[in-house]
Amino acid sequence: MADNDDLPPDEPPAGPTDPSDIKPISIVDEMKRSYLDYAMSVIVSRALPDARDGLKPVHRRILFSMSENNHNPDRPYVKCARVVGDVIGKYHPHGDQSIYDALVRMAQDFSMRLMLIDGQGNFGSVDGDPPAAYRYTESRLTKAAIPLLDDIDKETVNFQPNYDGSQREPTVLPAKYPNLLVNGAGGIAVGMATNIPPHNLGEVIEACIALIDNPAITLEELMEIVKGPDFPTSGLILGRAGIRSAYETGRGSIIMRAKTTSETIRDREAIIVNEIPYQVNKVTLIEKISELVKEKRIEGIAAMRDESDRDGMRIVIELKRDAMADVVLNQLYRFTPMQTSFPANMVALNGGRPETMTLRDLIRVFVEFREEVVSRRTKFLLGKARDRAHVLCGLAIAVANIDEVIRLIRTAPDPNTAREWLMERDWPAADIAPLIALVDDPRHRVSADNTYRLSDIQARAILELRLARLTALGRDEIGDELQKLAAEISEYLEILRSRARIQGIIKDELTAISAQFATPRKTAILDWASDVDDEDLIQREDMVITVSHAGYIKRVPLSTYRAQRRGGKGRSGMQTRDEDFVTRLFVANTHTPILFFSSRGQVYKEKVWRLPLAAPNARGKALVNMLPLEANERITTIMPLPEDETSWETLDVMFATDSGGVRRNKLSDFVQVNRNGKIAMKLDEGGHIVGVATCSELDDVLLTTAAGQCIRFAVPEVRVFKGRDSTGVRGISLAKGDTVISMAILRHMEATPEERASYLRMRRAVEGQADEAEDQPVEPDEDAGAEAGALPQERYSEMSAAEQFVLTLSERGFGKRTSSYEYRTTGRGGKGIVAMATTERNGRLVASFAVEDEDQIMLVTDGGQLIRVPVDGIRVVGRATQGVTVFVTSNGDKVVSVEHLEGEGEAGEDDGEGVAEAAEE
C-alpha cells in the first residue's frame, strides 16, 4: 500500500481495525457528552454575547478583521464581499450569509442604537426589505466602533489561535464603553436564549461612573440614571414595572407602544403614526390593520396610507366621521403590533459561562473589565518605555565614551566580536549615573565604582548608532528623551500602584466618549397602570336590549330605530316563535353593567357590549348559551345598574325566596363577579329565588303568597348581611302548603291609618266608585273602621302623587289593581294580610307587582295560550276582593307566568309578536 511507505519499520501497516481495539460504550453517555459539547459550542462560540464587550464571536471577528485591514472611518468604503471573504478565510469558517447578516445589522440605524458599521448601499429597511447582495454594498467602520478596538495592539486582551492556527484573534475587544447595554443583543442558543434591549449611551456611561464612585449603589439609584431601554425606532414604553423586573432579576416584559398624533384631514380626524415599536415591521403592521378592518374587528377606520419618506415615518389612518379616535386607537393597540412587548432576558457570558445578569451586574462586569484593560495597557506602555530607556542608557554610555567605543569597534575583526567586546568592558558612568537612576529599571545598575556594563540589546544599538547622533545636539536629544521616558515610567508605576488612578482614567475615557457620541434619549417612558381593558376598545353607544319570555336576549343600536309620529305602525323588535314573546325592553349604554340573577341563587355579570349584537328582527341568543346555567336553572331577574360601580355602595339589593326568606346586601358585594358567576344567596334544599330588586332604606318590601296573603314591611327591618352564603331572615310566616310568588319594592308609606282611610274614601268618591264593589271583601280591613274625616286638598294631592298601584293576578285569569295605601306596614315575619281573595273561582295567585298606567302585562297558560293586556284596562278595587276577569282561560288551563312589560303604552291588535317602537330619546 503506497500510503504506508513512510511508516517506521517497527510499526505495522495500517489495515483493518483490530477487533481487540473496539471498546463498547454506552450510547446514553455518548449522546450526553456529544450533546453537551455541541450545546456549549453554540452557547460560547455563536449565540451569546460576552458581557465585557457585548459582542458575539461573529461580530467581534468582523470588527477586528476590518480594523486589521484598515477599513477605518477615514478610509474609502470597501465592498462587503471583501469583508465577508476576509472574515471567512481568517476567523469565522461558517456560512457567508450569517456573516453578512451580522454585518448588515451593525449598519442598520433601526436595529442599532449606536451603529458600528458605516454602510453604503441598500442595507434593508424598517419595512422588512432585505439588504442588497454583498457584491453591491460597501462598508467601513464607524467612528463609534473605534473605541471598541482602541489599544487592542497593547496586549490589553488575550488572543487565541484561529480555527486553523494560521492567525490569532482576540477573545474579547477592549471596549471603552458598555456596548452590550448600548446596542443590546439577541440570540437563541441550546436550552437558553438572550434578548437584551438597547440603551442610551449617555445614561449608561453616567451609570458606570456612578458605580465607580459608589460601589454600593442601589438599583433604585441606578434606575434614576438609566431610565429604561432607549430603542433606535423611538416609540413609547408603558410603565416601569417591566423595566424594574428586567433590571432587578434579568427578566421582564417591557411594553412598547407606537407614538401617534392627531390631525384633521378633509374635515375628518386622522391618527398619524410617527414612531413604531422596536423590531416591528412597518409593512406587516399596515397589512395587519387592513386585515382587521376588513374583518370588522376594528371599526371606525375610513382609509389608511403610508406617507413615510427619508425625512421620517408617517402612517395616516383616517377615521370615519362618527368614530371616536380614542376608541380606535385602543383597538389598534390591542389587536395590532402598534403595542407589543419586549421580553427582556439578559443572559450573557461572564467568565465564559452563561449567566442571567441584572443591570448592576452588567455595569459592574464592564467596569471590572475596563480596570483590567487599563492595567494591562499601562503595563504594556511601562514595558515599552523601559525597553526604550534601556536602549537609550546604552547610547548615553556610548556617547559619553565615544572615542573608546570607536577605537574598540575599529579594531574588532567583525560585528559580533565588536558586540562581545562592548559587553565585556566596564564603562565609566559617573556622568550619567543620575540619569540612569531616573529610569527605575532593575536592569540599569551603576556599580559602586561608577561603572556600567552593556547588555546585548544595548550593544547592538550602539553598533547601529548613526554618526549624526554623535554631535552635541544628538547627545542632548538622547538625554532629553531619557528624562522624558523616566517621567513616563514614573507615571505608569504610580498608576499601577493606585486603583483610584485607574478608575480615574476609566471615568475620563468614558466622559470623553459620552461627549463625542451620546445623543438625547429617543424612547419616552410613560406612567402606566395596567393593560388596556376590553371595555376601552368599545365605543360608547346607546343600545336597545330585548329579552324574550323563552330566554333570548340581544342588543340593537338605538340609532337603528327611527322615530315615528304618533299612530305609526311601528316595527318588529324581535323575531319570536308562536309560543315566545318579548318580556323586557330597556335602553342602556354599551358600558352599562347588568346583573343576571338565577333561580338557583347564582348571579352573573355582563356588560351590555358583551350581549349579542343582532338585527332588529333577529331572535337573539339564548341566555343558556351565553351564561353557564345548569339544567332547570332560569334567569329570574335582569338588573341594569349604574355604570359607575363606586356608586353601588349607596344601593342595597333585596332577595326573596319561595320559602318566605329575605336578605339584604350591599350592591357593592356584586362588583366582582367571575365569568362563571358567584353565589348570590344560599337557598334551602329545593328552594329558589322569586325576586331580586334594588332598594334603599326609604322603601318597603311587599311579599305575596300563592294562598293570597301578603306582608309589607320597611327595608330597615332586614339588616344588611356581610356575606352571601346565608339564607337570610324570615320575611313572612307561611301556612302549610303556601309559597311566596313575588316580591315588590314600594315607596315607604308616610301616612297614618286615618289618613289612608280618608284618602281611599275620597279617591273612590272622585272616581265615582261605590263602596260596595262587584266583589265583596271576604275579610274586613283593620283600618276600615278608623275614624277619619276629609283630608285637606293639599294633603290629598300630596298622597295622590305618592300613590302606587299593585297588580295582583290569579291562576284563573282574574286580576285587580289596588292602591298601595291599602297595604298597611307591619313587622317582618308575620302572617300578613289578605292580598286577594282566593276561591275556587279565581284560584291561587301567580303574580303581584307595582305597575304604572302605561304598562302592559303578558299572561301565559300551561296550555300555551297567551294574551297581552294594557294595565290601564284593569279595575282599581279593594285589596281583599277577588278581582275582575283579565284572561278567559280554556277549560282546565291555568295561568303559569305573568310578564310585566314596562312603559309599553297603547298596544295595537297586531303587536303581540314584538314590541312597538318607542325609540325617541
Query: Given this model, what pLDDT does residue 517 score?
Result: 95
Query: Given this model, what pLDDT does residue 779 score?
Result: 40
Query: Given this model, what pLDDT does residue 774 score?
Result: 41
pTM of the entire structure?
0.62
Low-confidence winner among 289-293, 542-546, 721-725 (lowest mean pLDDT): 721-725
Evaluate if residue 787 carries a pLDDT over 60: no
Rounded-to-integer distance, Cα 421 and Cα 457, Å? 14
Range from 20-24, 351-355, 583-587 that averages highest in pLDDT: 351-355
Evaluate if residue 881 carries a pLDDT over 60: yes
- Strand, helix or coil for residue 46: helix
Q: How large is the average pLDDT for residues 718-738?
A: 85
Neighbours of 764 (CB within 10 A): 17
- Strand, helix or coil for residue 326: helix
Percent of the chain with pLDDT over 70: 85
Write out the CATH class of domain 42-175. alpha beta
**Fold of the domain spanning 369-512:** Topoisomerase; domain 3 (1.10.268)
Evaluate if residue 724 carries a pLDDT over 80: no
Q: Which of 35, 38, 136, 163 is catalytic?
A: 136
Q: How large is the average pLDDT for residues 801-818?
A: 90
Q: How large is the average pLDDT for residues 598-604?
A: 84
Tell me if residue 177 is catalytic.
no
- pLDDT bucket at 1, cuts 50 / 70 / 90: very low
Evaluate if residue 894 carries a pLDDT over 70: yes
The CA distances from residue 661 to 119, 166, 743, in Å, are 82, 94, 11
- pLDDT bucket at 672, cuts 50 / 70 / 90: confident
Give the phi and the psi of residue 835 in degrees, each rounded to 5: -95, -35
Burial tier of 672 (Cβ tally within 10 Å: 0-12, 13-18, 19+) = exposed
**What are the counts of helices (DSSP H) followed by strands (DSSP E) for the chain?**
21, 43
- pLDDT bucket at 756, cuts 50 / 70 / 90: confident
Domain limits, the chain: 42-175, 259-337, 369-512, 544-627
Percent of the chain with pLDDT over 90: 40
Rounded-to-integer distance, Cα 21 and Cα 794, Å? 122
Q: Write out pLDDT tens, residues 365-400.
A: 999 999 999 999 999 999 898 888 888 888 888 888
Query: 402-411 vs 415-424: helix axis angle to the nearest 10?
Result: 140
> Is residue 640 within 8 Å of 623, Cβ to Cβ?
no
Low-confidence winner among 386-400, 416-430, 444-458, 607-621 (lowest mean pLDDT): 444-458
Q: By C-alpha distance, which of 125, 104, 55, 113 is closest to 280? A: 125
Q: Write out pLDDT tens, residues 248-260.
A: 999 999 999 999 9
Q: Which CATH number, 3.90.1150.10, 3.30.1360.40, 2.60.40.10, 2.60.120.1570, labels domain 259-337?
A: 3.30.1360.40
Rounded-to-integer distance, Cα 390 and Cα 903, Å? 111
Strands 524-526 and 236-238: parallel
Q: Write out pLDDT tens, residues 823-880.
A: 989 889 999 999 988 888 888 999 999 998 888 887 878 777 778 888 888 888 888 8
Query: Given this model, what pLDDT does residue 775 score?
Result: 42
Q: How large is the average pLDDT for residues 650-671?
A: 87
Q: Which one has a higher pLDDT value, 104 or 721?
A: 104
Q: How large is the average pLDDT for residues 794-814?
A: 89
Query: Given this model, what pLDDT does residue 15 score?
Result: 52
Q: What is the average pLDDT score of the chain?
A: 83
